[in-house]
């Protein structure tokens, strides 16, 4: 297995979307930030389905596919809104390092 950074994943995702024609005018699947945010939320809900009524996902491969869908929509949304996702994640980790949460 080989590693790939976020820029490489982003490029592959854009190539896929372009090849499908989803960046074209009048596409049935317009790739707008709003539509991508909705799709991201829907895919995240599909991740939840794997844990409904159980603590363990029964179909590991299907769960992996849903996590990949979430990742692809997240990467695309970040790219189209000019957010450096790697930088944003690192900044959030830095902020959270100094953050405290109330005791339950």
Q: Average pLDDT by consecutive 10-residue portion of the chain (104 residues)?
A: 84 97 96 98 97 95 98 98 96 93 80
On whether residue 2 sits in a domain, the answer given is: no
What DSSP string describes 49-77? HTTTT-SS-S-HHHHHHHHHHHHHHHHHH
The predicted pLDDT at position 104 comes to: 62
Say if 19 falls within a structural domain. yes
- The number of distinct structural domains making up the chain is 1
For residue 102, being part of any structural domain is answered with no
Let me know: does 31 contact 80? Beta carbons within 8 Å.
yes
Domain CATH for 22? 1.10.287.1080
């Amino acid at each position: 297995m080989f590693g790939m950074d976020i820029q490489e994943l982003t490029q592959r995702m854009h190539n896929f979307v372009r090849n499908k024609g989803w960046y074209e005018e009048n596409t049935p699947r317009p790739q707008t930030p709003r539509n991508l945010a909705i799709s991201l939320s829907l895919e995240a809900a599909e991740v939840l389905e794997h844990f409904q009524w159980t603590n363990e996902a029964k179909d590991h491969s299907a769960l992996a596919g849903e996590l990949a869908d979430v990742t692809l929509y997240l990467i695309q949304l970040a790219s189209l809104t000019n957010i450096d996702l790697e930088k944003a994640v690192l900044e959030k980790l830095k902020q959270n390092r100094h953050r405290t949460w109330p005791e339950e």
